[in-house]
Structure 1
Amino acid sequence: MADVQDSLFSDLPELPRPAEEVDAPAPSPKKSRGATVKPVAADAALVALAAELPPQLRLGTSSWSYPGWAGLVWDGDYAETVLSKNGLSALAQHPLLRTVSLDRNFYRALTASQYARYAAMVPDDFRFVVKAPSLVTDATVRDESGRGTQANPVFLSHAIALQEFVQPALDGLGHRIGALVFQLSPIPSHLLADQPALIARIGAMLASLPDLKPIAPDAVLAVEVRDPQLLCPAFADMLRSVGATFCMGLHAKMPPIEDQLPMLRALWPGPLVCRWNLHRRHGRFGYEDAEKLYGPFDKVLDPDPETRAALAKVIAGTTGAGQNAFVTVSNNAEGCAPLTIASLAQDIVDRMSR
Structure 2
Amino acid sequence: MADEVQDSLFPDLPRPPEAPPTVPPEAEAEPPAKKKSRGATVAPAPVDPALVELAAALPPGLRLGTSSWSYPGWANLVWDDDYAETVLSKNGLSALARHPLFRTVSLDRNFYRALTASQYARYAAMVPDDFRFVVKAPSLVTDATVRDESGRGTQVNPVFLNSEIAIQEFVQPALEGLGHRIGALVFQMSPIPAQLLADQPALLARIGEMLESLPGLKPAAPDAVIAVEVRDPQLLCPAFADMLRSVGATFCMGLHAKMPPIEDQLPMLRALWPGPLVCRWNLHRRHGRFGYEDAEKLYGPFDKIVDPDPETREALARVIAGTTGAGQLAYVTVSNNAEGCAPLTIASLARDIAKLPKR
Which of 124, 133, 141 is the equivalent residue of 2:138? 133
Deviations 1:112-170 (A, max 9, x none): 00000000000000000000000000000111121211100000001000000000000
Alpha-carbon spacing, 1:343–1:14, altered in 2? closer, same or farther (3 Å): farther
Give the counterpart letter for 2:6 in structure 1.
Q
For residue 50 of structure 1, give the secondary structure of its aligned residue in structure 2: helix
For residue 78 of structure 2, give the secondary structure of its aligned residue in structure 1: coil
For residue 303 of structure 1, give the secondary structure of its aligned residue in structure 2: coil
Deviations 1:79-138 (A, max 9, x none): 000000000000000000000000000000000000000000000000000000000000
Paired position in structure 2 for 1:143: 148
Paired position in structure 1 for 2:164: 159
* Aligned counterparts of 1:292 and 1:40: Cα–Cα separation in 2: 26
Paired position in structure 2 for 1:315: 320
Alignment of 1:3-42 (within 5 A): 4-13=5-14, 32-33=36-37, 34-42=39-47
2:340 is equivalent to residue 339 of structure 1: no
For residue 94 of structure 1, give the secondary structure of its aligned residue in structure 2: coil
For residue 260 of structure 2, give the secondary structure of its aligned residue in structure 1: coil
2:95 is equivalent to residue 90 of structure 1: yes
Question: Are the equivalent residues in 1 in contact too, given 2:36–2:84 (CA < 8 A)?
Answer: no
Alpha-carbon spacing, 1:155–1:111, altered in 2? closer, same or farther (3 Å): same
Question: Are the equivalent residues in 1 in contact too, given 2:69–2:93 (CA < 8 A)?
Answer: yes
2:242 is equivalent to residue 237 of structure 1: yes
Paired position in structure 1 for 2:197: 192
Which of 73, 79, 102 is the equivalent residue of 1:68? 73
* Segment drifting more, 265-274 vs 5-14: 5-14
Question: Are the equivalent residues in 1 in contact too, given 2:283–2:338 (CA < 8 A)?
Answer: yes
Question: Are the equivalent residues in 2 in contact too, given 1:14–1:309 (CA < 8 A)?
Answer: no
Question: Are the equivalent residues in 2 in contact too, given 1:4–1:317 (CA < 8 A)?
Answer: no
Give the counterpart letter for 1:195 in structure 2.
Q
- TM-score, normalised to structure 2, is 0.93
Paired position in structure 2 for 1:171: 176
Q: How far 1:12 moved relative to its partner?
A: 2.2
* Aligned counterparts of 2:160 and 2:335: Cα–Cα separation in 1: 26
* Aligned counterparts of 1:269 and 1:302: Cα–Cα separation in 2: 33
Question: Are the equivalent residues in 2 in contact too, given 1:57–1:319 (CA < 8 A)?
Answer: yes
* Aligned counterparts of 1:22 and 1:305: Cα–Cα separation in 2: 17
Superposed CA RMSD in Å reads: 2.0
Question: Structure 1: any 5+ residue segments left out of the alignment?
Answer: 24-28
Paired position in structure 1 for 2:355: 350
Q: How far 1:225 moved relative to its partner?
A: 0.2
Paired position in structure 2 for 1:26: none
Alignment of 1:182-221 (within 5 A): 182-221=187-226
* Aligned counterparts of 1:247 and 1:176: Cα–Cα separation in 2: 19
* Aligned counterparts of 1:35 and 1:118: Cα–Cα separation in 2: 17
- TM-score, normalised to structure 1, is 0.95
Deviations 1:245-304 (A, max 9, x none): 000000000000110000000000000000000000000000000000000000000000
Which of 82, 87, 96 is the equivalent residue of 1:77? 82
Paired position in structure 2 for 1:271: 276
